[in-house]
Amino acid sequence: MKIALASDHAGFEYKESIKRLLQSLGHEVLDFGTTSNVPTDYPLFIRPAAEAVAAGKADRAIVLGGSGNGEAIVANKVKGIRCAVSWNEESARLSRLHNDANALSLGQRMMTEATALAAVKIWLETPFEGGRHLQRIHEIE
């Protein structure tokens, strides 16, 4: 899978760990920044990652910040993006299973690094259950 990855300064450390995890799992990573933990404005990095998914240049996106909320808001402004905030493994799993989320937003200040990495793995491995929900989810895009 090709994964767009982006963060602001508050999510930078986990972004780098997630990048290493994704690469070790054989995924191609498109890193949209940021490149350090120097304070920055998150939309500058999050929106291009979401746009890459919407344009078909990436299969999914993972975006990070302090809480993950602002990043999800920015990503969800891009037509075709279904970005879910997740603060644990179960919410990551359900975002794929029930919501067909094509973007995941994580908050570095809200979870341990181990939880973030586990949530990413579960999110990547969980299929969408499809069925009657599929048409409704995609109709609102």
Active site residues: 71, 98
Nearest-CA neighbor of 18 among 99, 97, 125, 114? 114
Joined tokens for residue 140: 């609102």
Report, in this order, helix, strand and coil percent for the chain, each rounded to 5. Answer: 45, 20, 35
Give the residue ranges of DSSP H helices in 1-141: 12-24, 43-54, 69-76, 89-97, 113-125, 132-139
Say whether the peptide bond before residue 112 is cis (omega within 30 degrees of 0): no
Instruction: Give the β-pairing of 2-7 and 28-31.
Output: parallel
